[in-house]
Each structure stands twice: as C-alpha cells, then as structure tokens.
Chain A
Amino acid sequence: GDSVTQMEGPVTLSEEAFLTINCTYTATGYPSLFWYVQYPGEGLQLLLKATKADDKGSNKGFEATYRKETTSFHLEKGSVQVSDSAVYFCALRVNTNAGKSTFGDGTTLTVKP
C-alpha cells in the first residue's frame, strides 16, 4: 500500500536558521505530492505541491522537489521565522486510489527568536 515517512520531530530552530524536513514515500501508482501545514487548533492548509517528477513546489519561501529516483519530497526553507512554528505533514495522493490522501506522521517545528 501507499505510505509516507517523514522526519521525526520535534524540530527546534533559531530564527533565520535553515530548515529541512525529510519525506520519503512508497506508492502503488504515480502520486502527486504535497506538504500541508497545521497551526494549533486548526485544520490543514496546503503549503505546496508537485504533480510530476522533477517538479518543484514553492510557497512562502518553502520549497520541495519531487525526486522520483529517491522517492523523496524534502521540505526546505532558507531562513525560518517564528511564525513558521507549526506541524508539517507530507502527503501523497494517487489518482487510482479513490482520491484518498496518505499522510506522514507530521513534524512539529518550533522556531525560537
């Protein structure tokens, strides 16, 4: 079956530090890949996406590149801010699987001033 494995947290960084959250996946088909962010007490917001190999998703300074050869979709940001503190979920969706999304366990990021 489909699965997503992401870096265990929690991750604590100082403001302006470089962020990497690793994500690897296994899928029965050809998936689309996503990063979602969840702030305390809220639902999930789409952060970025990539739908085919070598695509780079980017938004709000975050980037992730769809690497088919390594089945990875690592999230990066060059300079984090306190406001980036949240839980980040890597996810995939395969068209043939009734549209269901498969999520990683989430990584909690805390950015300190």
Chain B
Amino acid sequence: GAVVSQHPSRVICKSGTSVKIECRSLDFQATTMFWYRQFPKQSLMLMATSNEGSKATYEQGVEKDKFLINHASLTLSTLTVTSAHPEDSSFYICSARDRGLPEAFFGQGTRLTVV
C-alpha cells in the first residue's frame, strides 16, 4: 500500500514556542491531505483538510491562526502549532489519499507535549 511518513514522531516544546509537523506521501501524489487530533482513548477529530496549492479548509472550532497548514507540493503538507500551550498537547495524525483509491493512508502520528 501507499506510504505516508510523518515527522517527528515525538516532540517536547516549551510553552509559547511553535512546532512544525511534516506529513509526506512517499510513493504517490496527494492533492488532499487531512490533519487529525486524537485525545487519549478517543477517536480521531478532523482538524482540517489540506489542499495542494490552496488554503486549507478548517473544521468548525479549529483556530486557523493557531494551527497553520501549508500544502506546498503534492507530497508534503505541514502543520505548525503556533504559540503552543499545554492544552495543545495531543497526538496529531495526518492522512493522505492516493487518487483513484478509496482509502486514506495514515502517518505514524506525532506525540506533542507542551511543557
């Protein structure tokens, strides 16, 4: 199957700093990528849909100025958590679709801890 690589897998940052998470499709082009947030023992919450070459579409309640998404190429989308606070600590997961296939492929996830 298609491979989606997410980096870093774990990051610890100080409150007030910004953190960038990368999501790459390794063997296919992804015009659309998705960013999710997962709280412990809960399901995935869609944060935004990232479209190559255009602005991301954010779900209701997600602050677009706090969670900056850039999808500059067909194989890379980035999520930047700006001015991070402890409540932003969570597991963030990206996914991408290979055109023509019904399923989405997921990255390994990033465990963000803000101290």
A residues near B (Cβ < 8 Å) are: 32, 34, 36, 41-46, 49, 51, 89, 93, 98-101, 103-106, 108
Cβ 8 A contact of A101, one of B95, B107, B109: B95
Interface residues of B, dominant DSSP: strand
Q: Which residues on B are within 8 Å of A, measured CB to CB?
A: 1, 4, 6, 32, 34, 41-44, 46, 49, 57, 93, 95, 97, 102-109, 111
B107 touches A43 (CB 8 A): yes
What 5 pairs between A and B have smallest CB-CB spacing?
Answer: A32-B102, A43-B106, A44-B106, A43-B109, A43-B108
Q: Which residues of A contact B93 (CB under 8 A)?
A: 43-44
Inter-chain contacts of B105 with A (CB < 8 A)? 46
Q: Are A93 and B106 in contact (CB under 8 A)?
A: no
Contact flag A34-B108 (CB < 8 Å), given A100-B49, A101-B95: no
Could you say which residues of chain A place their CB within 8 Å of the CB of B43?
89, 103-106
Q: Quick check: B103 and A34 within 8 Å, CB to CB?
A: yes
Which residue of B has the minimal Cβ distance to A46?
B103
User: Which residues on B sit within 8 Å (CB–CB) of A106?
Assistant: 41-43
Please give me the residue from chain A that is nearest to B32 by CB atom. A99
Residue of B nearest to A108 (CB): B41
- What's the Cα separation between A17 and B46 when bound, in Å? 34
CA distance A51 to B100 in the complex (A): 12
Q: How far is the CA of A51 from the CA of B111 in the complex (A)?
A: 32
> Which of chain A's residues has its CB closest to B109's CB?
A43
A8 to chain B, nearest CB (A): 12
Which residues of chain A come closer than 8 Å to B1, judged between CB atoms?
46
Given A43-B93, A44-B106: A98 and B57 within 8 A (CB)? yes
